[in-house]
A and B are shown apart, each in its own frame.
Chain A
Amino acid sequence: MCPLIPNGIISSGWDFVIAIILGMAFGFILEASGFSSARNIVGVFYGYNFVVLRVFFTALIVAMVGLLYFDYFGWLDLSKIFILPTYLTPMIIGGVVMGVGFIMGGFCPGTSFTAVAIGKIDGIVFTIGLYFGIFIFSEAFPLFGDFYTSGDLGNVTITDATGIPASWVAMGFTVVALAAFWGTMFVEKRVRKNMTEYKF
């Protein structure tokens, strides 16, 4: 039955209406969780605010387990969903560059849009930076075009690559997430004691 649009159950004419509605829910959740403030976000790297870890890991395990249930009951054709392709080295390098950008800029793209929405100048400047970054990448593309497509493993899942069944992967993430939720509670308490200038 699912996915509904690729299976023709919902007409693709609704695509963009659905895009705006899902996007609105996304933006609302990000903003309401406090991601329109860069200082809330980077707290995860300094131990004074683990909201990113809590929201991100909870979302991850809810979505993973949900997909597995839909697959188990036969409501979702997993072969019809998009699996992000893996280009190993470029994606590691890309992730490293994003990691440095994350610490310096304090946002990631989705969160910066919600910061723009509530009037944060740092969010606006970060978004302008994104634009220039992608522009520079496009213009310089011939220089590293070969690298960009190197390490192509295709649209592989963790199960394809490692042989670990998807349910075990979800289980693993869940256990690690719960342990992290518990452990970071104590770290946060300790670190916050020494911070006075930050309003929570």
Chain B
Amino acid sequence: MNKELATNKEPKYINPYLGGVLLGLLVLITVLITGRGLGASGAIKSTVVATAHVFSPEQVKSNAYMGKFISDDHSPMYTWLVFETIGIFLGGLLSGVVFGRVKKFRTDHSPRITSRTRLIFALIGGMLFGIGSQFGRGCTSGAALSGTATFALGGVVVMFAIFGTGYAVAYFFRKLWI
């Protein structure tokens, strides 16, 4: 491949170490202001509880898991993580606009698989990540990153379990990516 051509097509990403320092400072600032770290899966959990509550309020109240997140004085959506996640979306959009990556709807996949295959696996992967994040008390943001950064044992456990498993099973799913 022509090297110059490849360089021209290179997406403009910031230096990963700069990104890491910024992200680390952000986690630090977040803990200094709010007393806890960042998160992501929590907002989806709130959305699940909120939508289920609209369709069958009684069932949600009696559900041993969702019932814990129902309060009489505010909606399940009225939580810190939901607002933070709206911010994640807006921040992602802003970066996408700044670096020219907001384009028409598209799917990333290895040339060896179709978009359809990619989307089926994305759905299953999302479901597994959703289920796992509930057992893990958080995902890569809340447990692995913020948990470990605040020296919580659980954070380290989740971090090693996620990345360790990733490496262990990567071979079986290599066609999806390389």
CB within 8 Å of B: which residues of A? 2-6, 10, 15-16, 18-34, 36-40, 42-46, 48, 50-51, 54-64, 66-67, 70, 76, 80-88, 90-110, 112-123, 125-139, 141-142, 145, 148, 153, 155-161, 166, 169, 181, 195-200
Contacts and interface: CB of A to CB of B under 8 A. Distances in A.
B146 to A, nearest CB: 8
B30 A22 contact: yes
Given A58-B24, A153-B153, A119 B92 contact: no
A160 B176 CA distance: 41
A15 B80 contact: yes
Interface of B: 1, 6, 9-11, 13-14, 16-17, 19-38, 40-41, 44-45, 47-49, 52, 63-66, 80-81, 83-96, 98-99, 101-111, 115, 118-119, 121-170, 173-174, 176-178
Q: Main secondary structure on chain A at its contact with chain B? A: helix
Contact of A132 (B27, B33, B126): B126
Contacts of B35: 3, 5-6, 80-82
Contacts of B178: 46, 48, 195, 198
A49 B62 CA distance: 46
A44 B66 CA distance: 35
